[in-house]
A and B are shown apart, each in its own frame.
Chain A
């Protein structure tokens, strides 16, 4: 079992991803210690989460999606477990070093990347969370303050809203669910 797990983890380049996430989180934590503005700390936490999620993407597809698809094991629960474990690791790492609505952002962004892997393939999947976050960062300090209305702007900028914003949390959870289900059932999409 242990051996199987090790091989699986290596086939999905988990060690490299983990090293990347730890390094990036540490670097962002260090950056946070040099900045007094507490509002910027949430932004740094979001960037740490984004790094973690980006590092997860290559591992969500094996070297050959078609080969994986033909393997005679039950993929859906395995894929869901993979996502949830990745999310848990990112959450715990970032929570250790940063503050802010980490769990919400991990949920939504992991869902987004899973959606991306299932639709546009693992190598491009990172575009989805990155572009959305880049867009939302316009509203995060130091560039701005997250909108409190109108409603659609709150939804569009869910990852930079304060932690207690219910619509933002709902959006993140919906994205998380949609991503997990799509990816678990459909598996990684093909290159195009």
Chain B
């Protein structure tokens, strides 16, 4: 029989509206904002970040539903019915939970339109991220139900909603959106790592576990508060929340262990034919948009330099020592299956420092030292390219000192020019200390 009542509540309560509202808002947020698409994990994390707004909405909807008996003035009729309160409200709570979860999953489904065409793999780590979000939606509606039935005022839903947004904005404002603080991990929201692209990492098991324990405990507190008929019953509602804190806090990961690299995402995918161009698996779809500029850059390097590299590899975690036969690239921005740069920008970026990565051990203290270092690397790139980039490059912005330094370099005999650029490349590969611009344009040349 309760199944029939549940069906009535699913149709007649706020539950279907919550689902529709969350999906509609989710679609609007997904498709009206420019975001990075193409990975299931980033879709899941994006949706979790939108909980900042959807969670308060679900909370308010729960409160609205929770005040139904008072709003419809049916308390007089209901207070003389024999069915215990907890059994009476259980279908409402279940219906609201179903509505909220359906909305959350529906929103994820709506986002597949921007993921499915580009995703080449599915990390199982995506599932818990979505699941924790779905649980948090149940937490929201049940807490709302409890608040709405205790304070059945028209003002309760909007006030609760605004308060929930304010608290979350406050926590983020104090700790910063990119950082994941302990208290931030207690929020339903998740924003992805501050120092890495979301496509390469997944939340660790400890992150998911601590969050789901805490959120489920608060959900239980909300349900007990909502279903309890007596003061004593409501007092026991504190128990799940306390247990939740006691279990979740020790489970919380340290700030370095909130995320871990996703093995699926960082494996290497290469072109079948040489010269090899490789990307992490997360960027597999974008390989074709890297291949041509990468090969052009390789051709320019081998045309002008001895011992030129023969492959381009974009890699998430890079070895400390560079392989002279490979141009290593830090992860670049990819969206919707393409590198979000023009081909000439990619070439410019690959030629920077004559196909080397910047060294981070040079101890460049002053801005002047740093500028000279950047200029030297760009002069090498422009020399290999044959000219300065026509338009301001989207990657590695052009230093103003590059042009005069390039003229100085070109004033030297051709063999000297080539020797000096090769020397710069050698210095960069080994990261030996010394002024790089001196190598290219200094009176003495390479030692």
Q: Do chains A and B touch in the complex (CB under 8 A)?
A: yes
Interface of chain A residues 29 through 71 with chain B (CB within 8 A): 31, 34-37, 40, 43-44, 47, 50-51, 54-55, 57-58
Question: Contact string, B47-59, partner A, CB cutoff 8 A, digits 1/0?
Answer: 0011011101100
In angstroms, Cα B67 to Cα A58, docked, is 15
Q: Are B158 and A130 in contact (CB under 8 A)?
A: yes
Closest chain-A Cβ to B351's Cβ sits at a distance in Å of: 32
Q: Are B173 and A143 in contact (CB under 8 A)?
A: no
Confirm or deny: B29 has a beta carbon within 8 angstroms of a beta carbon on chain A. Answer: yes
In angstroms, Cα B72 to Cα A107, docked, is 32
Partner of B159, one of A20, A122, A135: A20
Q: Are B162 and A50 in contact (CB under 8 A)?
A: yes
Q: Are A135 and B28 in contact (CB under 8 A)?
A: yes
> Main SS of chain B's interface residues?
helix
Partner of A55, one of B53, B54, B155, B177: B155
Confirm or deny: B131 has a beta carbon within 8 angstroms of a beta carbon on chain A. Answer: no
B residues near A11, Cβ cutoff 8 Å: none
In angstroms, Cα B176 to Cα A50, docked, is 24
> Main SS of chain A's interface residues?
helix
Confirm or deny: B166 has a beta carbon within 8 angstroms of a beta carbon on chain A. Answer: yes
Q: Are A144 and B154 in contact (CB under 8 A)?
A: no
Question: Contact string, B25-41, partner A, CB cutoff 8 A, digits 1/0?
Answer: 10011001100000000
A residues near B170, Cβ cutoff 8 Å: 31, 34-35
Partner of B50, one of A44, A130, A138: A138
B33 nearest CB neighbor, chain A only: A138
Closest chain-A Cβ to B28's Cβ sits at a distance in Å of: 6
Closest chain-B Cβ to A139's Cβ sits at a distance in Å of: 8
Closest chain-A Cβ to B16's Cβ sits at a distance in Å of: 15
B residues near A144, Cβ cutoff 8 Å: 33
Confirm or deny: B71 has a beta carbon within 8 angstroms of a beta carbon on chain A. Answer: yes
Q: How many residues of A contact B (CB 8 A)?
A: 36
Q: Are A137 and B165 in contact (CB under 8 A)?
A: yes
Question: Contact string, B246-274, partner A, CB cutoff 8 A, digits 1/0?
Answer: 00000000000000000000000000000
Confirm or deny: A24 has a beta carbon within 8 angstroms of a beta carbon on chain B. Answer: yes
Partner of A28, one of B28, B157, B161, B166: B166
Q: Are A54 and B162 in contact (CB under 8 A)?
A: yes
Q: Are A126 and B166 in contact (CB under 8 A)?
A: no
Confirm or deny: A92 has a beta carbon within 8 angstroms of a beta carbon on chain B. Answer: no
Confirm or deny: A85 has a beta carbon within 8 angstroms of a beta carbon on chain B. Answer: no
Q: Are B169 and A43 in contact (CB under 8 A)?
A: yes
Question: Contact string, B314-332, partner A, CB cutoff 8 A, digits 1/0?
Answer: 0000000000000000000
Q: A40-B173, A54-B159, A130-B161 are in contact. Are A47 and B33 (CB under 8 A)?
A: no
Q: Are A143 and B52 in contact (CB under 8 A)?
A: yes
Top 10 closest A-B pairs, CB basis? A54-B158, A35-B173, A142-B177, A40-B173, A142-B172, A134-B53, A58-B154, A31-B170, A126-B158, A51-B162
**What are 23 A-B contacts with C-beta separation under 8 Å?**
A16-B155, A17-B155, A28-B166, A34-B174, A35-B170, A44-B166, A47-B169, A50-B158, A58-B155, A122-B154, A123-B154, A130-B161, A131-B21, A131-B25, A134-B25, A134-B53, A134-B57, A135-B25, A135-B53, A142-B173, A142-B176, A143-B49, A153-B32
Q: Can you add 20 more A-B contacts, CB < 8 Å, to A43-B169, A54-B159, A135-B53? A: A20-B155, A31-B166, A31-B169, A36-B173, A37-B173, A44-B166, A47-B162, A47-B166, A47-B169, A50-B162, A54-B155, A55-B159, A130-B60, A134-B25, A134-B54, A134-B56, A135-B29, A138-B50, A138-B53, A143-B177
